[in-house]
Amino acid sequence: MRVFKLIYMNALRHKLRTSLTILGIAVAIMAFGLLRTVVAAWYLGVNQAAPDRLITRSKNGITFTLPVAQKQAIERIPGVADLTYSAWFGGFYKDPKDFFPQIAVEGVHGLSLYPEFIVDSAALDAFDKEPNAAIVGKTTMDRFGWKIGDAVRLTGQIYPGDWDFVVRGVYTGRSEATDLSQFLFNFKYIDQRMQVEMPARAGQVGWWVIKIDDPAKAAAISAAVDKEFENSSDATLTETEAAFQQSFVAMAGTIVFSLQVISFLVIGVILLVAANTMAMTARERISEYAVLKTLGFNGKHILGLIAGESLLIACLGGVLGMIFLIPVLHGVGVALKAWFPAFIIDPKTYPQAAATAVLVGILAAVFPSWRAIRVSIVNGLRRIG
């Protein structure tokens, strides 16, 4: 117990320096947690994907559409429990820079395949009856300050022209991780206008959403769907929703990778701050260590004293950092709303941050301890004068 008290008292000797070091480590641990959370946010869609949904899209690439006529052929495939389609609208509200996803769905039936979106029955009713009704996620509603009943005009890029909608409902999520940024409306609204203005593009959907009766059969059903259209000009690529989401994450692979690299660089910054403090401390106390040695303490004891103090500081910093993380994540989540639909701490972040703090505590003590142990008693004592 004495030893712990000595470590504790030593840490208090330079209150300012110790507090600054703890603060520095806290900031770095917080940055580490923040970066891990941003990376995790990217994979959120993958993790949230339903195991019983498949996505079928054009094998040619994301800008290619599929004919609605494929419906019957897919429905006939064994294991397909339900089927709907969606299309990417790709428009904007006032400013093209303010991105949010707009998706045309197959009316109320389309929504029914997404049980994670919670919509009240009045909204569903309007969605069914009014051709230009829209149901919008809460995040996007708040972002543009829309209220139920508002008329909203979007400018189409993929579907050219101005499109007028009326917001009839807000959807909320069944879990914290549900994407609340989507703007959903009825595919019929755009398709009817396409029939008049661009007949070649009518009856073309973006992708199929297939609900299967048994997730274990996902691979077999995917293969069966793709085989069906293999030799047509509308060849398909079917994969689980998770794999589909993963391919979007992969598109930003470089950026995710950079963030991962940076999250490790921040550990370097903490390590340098902590090691610097421990080096200074050990250097100042060289003569004390010499005195301890004359009393019969050996190198291990001194290592224990330095490493103990280093660990104490690093762990306090780690705990403080995790406490900082919560409000900071909230702030950053608000700032990055346009890019990340949801921003939640990955539970793995806590053990990772704790491990980082311990590691930093140990590493920071290595070099100063080595120096302190190596110095001969005579040399150490000489520094007293």
Partner 1 sequence: MSLFLTYGLRNLFVRKLTTTMTVLGMGLVVFVFAAVLMLAHGLEETLVDTGSPDNAIVVRAAASAETVSIMSRDQAGVARTQPEVALKADGTPVATNELIVMVNLDKRKNGDAGNVIIRGTTPDIFVLRSGIKLTAGRMFTPGTSEIIAGKRAAENFKGCALGEHISSAMRDWNVVGVFDAGGTGFDSELWGDVEQIQQVFKRPIYSSVTLRLKDAAQFDALKKRLEADPRMTVDVKRERQFYTEQSQATATFIRVIGLLVSIIFAVGAVIGAMITMYASVSNRTVEIGTLRAIGFSRTRILGVFLIESVWLSILGWVVGVIAASAMSLVTVSTTNWDTFAELAFSFALSPRILIGSLVFSVVMGLVGGFLPAVRASRARIVESLREAA
Nearer to partner 1, 90 or 203 (CB): 90
Question: Looking only at residues 318 through 337 of this chain, which bind partner 1 when binding is defined by CB under 8 A?
Answer: 332, 335-336
Letters for 246-285 (x = contact with partner 1 by CB under 8 A, - = none) are -x--xxxxxx--xx--x--xx-xxx-xx-xxx-xx-----
- Closest-CA residue to 75 (of 213, 206, 189, 197): 213
Number of H helices, E strands in the chain: 15, 13
In the list 7, 11, 35, 180, the residue contacting partner 1 (rule: CB under 8 A) is: 35
Supply the minimum distance, in Å, between the C-beta of residue 350 and partner 1: 19
Letters for 66-95 (x = contact with partner 1 by CB under 8 A, - = none) are ------------------------x-----
Place of tokens 């996620």: 137
The amino acid occupying position 231 is: N
Q: Which segments of 14-101 does DSSP mark as H helices, in order?
A: 15-42, 44-48, 71-75
Letters for 218-247 (x = contact with partner 1 by CB under 8 A, - = none) are -------------xxx-x-x---------x
Supply the minimum distance, in Å, between the C-beta of residue 300 and partner 1: 23
- Closest-CA residue to 365 (of 16, 21, 5): 21
The amino acid occupying position 11 is: A
Nearer to partner 1, 24 or 45 (CB): 24
Contacts of 239 (CB under 8 A, 6+ apart): 54, 55, 222, 247
H-run or E-run covering 212? strand 207-212
Please state the length of the chain: 385
DSSP string, 138-207: HHHHHHHT--TT-EEEEEETTTTEEEEEEEEEEEEESSTTS----EEEEHHHHHHHHHHH-GGGTTEESE
Nearer to partner 1, 294 or 379 (CB): 379
Nearer to partner 1, 8 or 339 (CB): 339
In the list 7, 10, 11, 24, the residue contacting partner 1 (rule: CB under 8 A) is: 24
Nearer to partner 1, 60 or 112 (CB): 60
Contacts of 134 (CB under 8 A, 6+ apart): 152, 165, 166, 167, 168, 169, 183, 184, 185
Question: Looking only at residues 334 through 373 of this chain, which bind partner 1 when binding is defined by CB under 8 A?
Answer: 335-336, 339
Q: Where on the chain is the footprint of partner 1 (CB under 8 A)? A: 16-17, 20-21, 23-24, 27-28, 30-31, 34-35, 38, 59-64, 90, 96-97, 99, 155-158, 160, 200, 231-233, 235, 237, 247, 250-255, 258-259, 262, 265-266, 268-270, 272-273, 275-277, 279-280, 332, 335-336, 339
